[in-house]
Amino acid sequence: MHARLIHRFLQCLLVAFCLVVTLFATDLRAADDLRAMINALGGGSFQESQKQVEALAKTGDPKIVPALEALSEGDLYQRKADGTVFIVKPAGSNFKLTDALTGDAAGEEAKAALEKVKVNNGLRRVIRAALGGLTLMSPDAGVRLQAASTILRTPSADALEGLDAALAAETDGTVKAVLEKALAASVLVSDRPVDEKKAAIATVVQTGGRDSLSLLSGALLSADESLRPDIEVGIKKIEDQLALWAAGQNIWYGLSLGSVLLLAAIGLAITFGVMGIINMAHGEMVMLGAYTTFVVQQIIRDSYPALFDWSLAIALPLAFLVTGAVGLVMERGIIRFLYGRPLETLLATWGVSLILQQAVRSIFGPTNQEVGNPSWMSGAFDLGGLTITWNRMWIIVFSLAVFGFLLFLLKKTPMGLQMRAVTQNRRMASSMGIRTPWVDALTFALGSGIAGIAGVALSQIDNVSPNLGQGYIIDSFMVVVFGGVGNLWGTLVGAFTLGILNKVLEPYAGAVLGKILVLVLIILFIQKRPRGLFALKGRAVEA
Amino acid sequence: MSINARATGALLAAILSTTAFHGAFAADDTIKVGILHSLSGTMAISETTLKDAMLMLIEEQNKKGGLLGKKLEAVVVDPASDWPLFAEKARELVSVNKVSAVFGCWTSVSRKSVLPVFEELNSVLFYPVQYEGEESQRNVFYTGAAPNQQAIPAVDYLAENEGVERWVLAGTDYVYPRTTNKILEAYLISKGVKPEDIMINYTPFGHSDWQTIVSDIKKFGSAGKKTAVVSTINGDANVPFYKELGNQGVKAEDIPVVAFSVGEEELAGLDTTPLVGHLAAWNYFQSVDNPANAEFIKTWKAFTKNDKRVTNDPMEAHYIGFNMWLKAVEKAGTTDTDAVLDAMIGVSVPNLSGGYSTMMPNHHITKPVLIGEIQADGQFETVWETPGLVVGDEWSDFLPDSKDLIADWRKPLECGNFNVATGKCGGKGS
């Protein structure tokens, strides 16, 4: 009895042991296979790598996700000595290695001992599709949503099975909606039956937007005869929607261009508009503002990287002070001797502009400097059918804020009152005890300072090079003259009118002809109304 | 050239050389090399680097003992991005400073402006930038790429490897993009691309508001066929263009942009993370891995005393051109223009992408063509290269009025626009 029990027990033990061993072995073999497949990513041509990635995706094993992500980021390297592939992170002159499958640290290696696993666009596309399929069943809803959106953008018949399974198991409403769209898109490119495709077309049409249009146009090229009318009607419907949004988009672009013009011109509206100084160095003030931003970002990058998102806020007052100071020196040193002599002022300020350009070129070099966009200035969001980029939106907001600030300063503060008094009737103002030379200097410094903070904003969308200012000087004068010299509201209306006019013409006439047309229109307008949109009336004009 | 012009030229040269006798004194113990690159104005951004590269090459050569037992001396002038001033400065270099060869120009319009000067004064110009072709001049050596060494292989790559069927040809509005796009359009149509699948767009110099054009590209790209942008956008306008692409979310995987005027130098002012995967076609990348290039980069960083300076394709073109000139002068035993012009053809020197470049009878050189993808660190990674060297084709085979023309400056033909159909010298461009 006792012996039988022991025998049974031993038998059980043996069976269990065998089971464990076989399980362990298959697991090991699977891991070995995966490792071999991942190692095979290195060294081959892009076509071979693509096949490897597709084969890896077929295993459906989530363990390969980190390796594929690293490959698409260009962080996957192969050790030259034994051909093993690792995920690497640069650490000084070495690379820190991480095991591609387990994620364990695997020591360090000199850069020269490793060779990068090369990746190109085609390979990245394949990886993106593979990752979409692999992460569909992830426990994290955010990851699932991303996977579903990826498949929606790159639909393929291969993804159908996974999508069906995922859709059945999905509980989250948002993810489910995207999954349904992705499924419809994938059905459209697959060889499923016609009625299923018809339903899919309806879903795609309902989704709308540029991507759906692209999908339908693609499907039309190879569609079954019975599906054609459906697709064509769908395309027509989406195109009509898009055409409506396109008009709105043009207006938005116009507002955006207008805000840039406003920013560039608003400083000039003070120095030229209010004071009557033809300031050819205005563009260079904008440039100095942009370089201040660059210097601030450099310091932040080197010493306080955490503050990077605040770099523009820090650069703003500094740019105002720097360019304001330059403006003050210019007015005291040169311009005050030339009041009432526009030609000499023009030549002198033009000379200053050349000196400033060359000075910046000598200090910082002639090449473009990199000014980064803080995270809140990067990317875009969709508003209906409009794509609105964050940097453009903030620049519109910023330009209006600067305008409001300036208006307040001129209309509601004692300093603004003195400025207006001096520019309208210098002798009278002087008799009232206003120190006119001092007010002149401050007004010019204010105009220059405003140009400087415009430079901070423009550094976000344009080159930061010594030539930055030259691109804006003509446009600035155009806006101020068009809007009416001496009137801030004129500058505002002028800037937005020119911006929208330019952007409405551009799709029809092209960028080059559009610009010429705008110029011609302005010339005709100035012929009719030499004092611009909002002409100053009264004695001040004649003075 | 008329006798009158020659006499005036000689007279002018005589007057200039008497007023500037200072230059004539030093002429005996050094060989002078002229550098004609803008150091101020719009093009300074690109050309200053080339001036520095030339100074470095000359310094290095002097360390090796100079040329024909004499030291080389660089004469630098600044044409200030002002095209007519290029011609004046070129005349000054040749007539006053008595330079033996000039290395310079960037834009095609500046090259066109100096051509008559080099012809009249019979001197040598090395032009280092990729250009539109349709030219071959007796006194000029073109060390940059002709369209068939850059544009056409790039289009082939996209069509074959990325399956592109719809093309946006976007360029700055001047002669290089217009001619290149004309050639590309003819080439694509000859390959069976339908005219409605090609969109051509031009923008002014320094264009900074790309919102409309980028959204047009997106619209053009949603016709269900794979779309790519071929960009001949030049200079400063590229930075806002790429920023707008990044912000509007145009990814290289969806609509790749291949550029012919964007190199390491242009990317230096840009955060390239959103641009990874966009392409450029050149004959050299800084990332090319070979000992000659590593040495060149090391010397360059030491010369500029700046560890962050990058090298680029036109610099390599100057490197090739300068070494070719050295070899030709040694072969001829003199810096005399006619002897050097004869000796140049057939000269072969190592390039920095790991092979040899040879000067062909049409005054263009052989080069490999590389296609690179932009990386997050602002460098390019080569994803494709031509199996062998490509000979620069000065007269495009894809334009109706230049397909019969060839250039051959060897004796006895000595013609830059020989028409093989009529058998006469003097086709287009004479």
Query: Of A242-246, A382-386, A429-433, B194-198, which range is least confident?
Result: A382-386
Q: Is B404 exposed, middle or buried (0-12, 13-18, 19+ CB in 10 A)?
A: middle
Read off the pTM. 0.82
Residue A507: its chain B contacts at CB < 8 A? 212, 216
Subunit contact B276:A471, Cβ cutoff 8 A: no
pLDDT band at B223 (very low <50, low <70, confident <90, very high): confident
B 250-269 → A contacts, CB under 8 A: 252-254, 256, 265-266, 268-269
- List chain A domain ranges: 2-123, 135-226, 245-542
pLDDT of residue A353 exceeding 70, the answer is yes
Instruction: List phi, psi (to 5°) of B41.
Output: 85, -175
Query: Of A213-227, A384-398, B199-213, B245-259, which range is least confident?
Result: A213-227
Average pLDDT taken over every residue of chain A: 85
Instruction: List phi, psi (to 5°) of B419.
Output: -95, 110
B 7-46 → A contacts, CB under 8 A: 39-42, 44-45
- Which range scores top for mean pLDDT: A11-25, A146-160, B117-131, B218-232? B117-131
Subunit contact A465:B247, Cβ cutoff 8 A: no
Q: What is the mean pLDDT of residues A119-129?
A: 85
Please give the share of chain B, as a percent, with pLDDT higher than 70.
92
A 246-275 → B contacts, CB under 8 A: 246, 249-250, 253, 256-257, 260
pLDDT for the residue A171: 82
Please give the share of chain B, as a percent, with pLDDT higher than 90.
61
- For every residue of B144-169, DSSP letters joined together read S--GGGTHHHHHHHHHHHS---EEEE
Average pLDDT taken over every residue of chain B: 88
pLDDT of residue B116 exceeding 80, the answer is yes
The owner of tokens 């038998």 is A11
Q: What is the mean pLDDT of residues A407-411?
A: 92
pLDDT band at A30 (very low <50, low <70, confident <90, very high): low
pLDDT band at B121 (very low <50, low <70, confident <90, very high): very high
Measured CA to CA, the distance from residue A78 to residue A88 in angstroms comes to: 10
Q: What is the mean pLDDT of residues B188-194?
A: 93
Measured CA to CA, the distance from residue A472 to residue A459 in angstroms comes to: 13
**What is the rounded end-to-end Cα distance, in angstroms, of chain B?**
12
Measured CA to CA, the distance from residue B326 to residue B318 in angstroms comes to: 12
Instruction: Say which residue, A125 or A355, is predicted with more confidence.
Output: A355
pLDDT of residue B429 exceeding 80, the answer is no
pLDDT for the residue B280: 93
pLDDT for the residue A543: 43
Query: CATH code for A245-542?
Result: 1.10.3470
- Smallest Cβ–Cβ distance between B222 and the set A217, A260, A465 belongs to A217
CA distance A512 to chain B (A): 6
Q: What is the 3-state secondary structure (H, E, C) of A439-481?
A: HHHHHHHHHHHHHHHHHHHHCCCCCECCCCCHHHHHHHHHHHH
Per-residue pLDDT tens digits for B322-354: 999 999 999 999 999 999 999 999 999 999 988
CA distance A276 to chain B (A): 28
pLDDT for the residue A220: 80
Per-residue pLDDT tens digits for B291-326: 999 999 999 999 999 888 899 999 999 999 999 999
Measured CA to CA, the distance from residue B125 to residue B128 in angstroms comes to: 10
A 57-76 → B contacts, CB under 8 A: 74
Measured CA to CA, the distance from residue A63 to residue A85 in angstroms comes to: 15
Subunit contact B219:A217, Cβ cutoff 8 A: no
pLDDT band at A162 (very low <50, low <70, confident <90, very high): confident
* CA-based nearest residue in chain A for residue B269: A370
pLDDT of residue A211 exceeding 90, the answer is no
Per-residue pLDDT tens digits for B372-391: 999 988 899 999 988 889 99
- Smallest Cβ–Cβ distance between B271 and the set A218, A370, A465 belongs to A370
- Smallest Cβ–Cβ distance between B161 and the set A122, A367, A368 belongs to A122
CA distance A288 to chain B (A): 17
Residue A511: its chain B contacts at CB < 8 A? 201-204, 207, 212-213
Measured CA to CA, the distance from residue B397 to residue B153 in angstroms comes to: 14
pLDDT band at B188 (very low <50, low <70, confident <90, very high): very high
pLDDT for the residue A329: 95
What domains does chain B contain, in order, with CATH numbers?
3-145+294-365 (3.40.50.2300), 148-288+370-391 (3.40.50.2300)
pLDDT of residue B82 exceeding 60, the answer is yes
Taking the Cβ of residue B222 and every Cβ of chain A, the question of whether any pair is shorter than 8 Å is answered with: yes
Residue A353: its chain B contacts at CB < 8 A? none
Measured CA to CA, the distance from residue A93 to residue A113 in angstroms comes to: 12
Cβ–Cβ contacts within 10 Å for residue B354, how many?
A: 15
Query: Of A57-71, B56-70, B87-101, B359-373, which range is least confident?
Result: A57-71
Q: What is the mean pLDDT of residues A190-207?
A: 82
CA distance B176 to chain A (A): 16
Residue B247: its chain A contacts at CB < 8 A? 378-380, 389-392
pLDDT for the residue A66: 85
Q: What is the mean pLDDT of residues A188-200?
A: 81
| C-alpha B353: how far from chain center | 16
Per-residue pLDDT tens digits for A433-483: 999 999 999 999 999 999 999 999 999 888 888 888 888 898 899 999 999
Subunit contact B269:A463, Cβ cutoff 8 A: yes
Residue A518 corresponds to which tokens in the numbers above? 């705008």
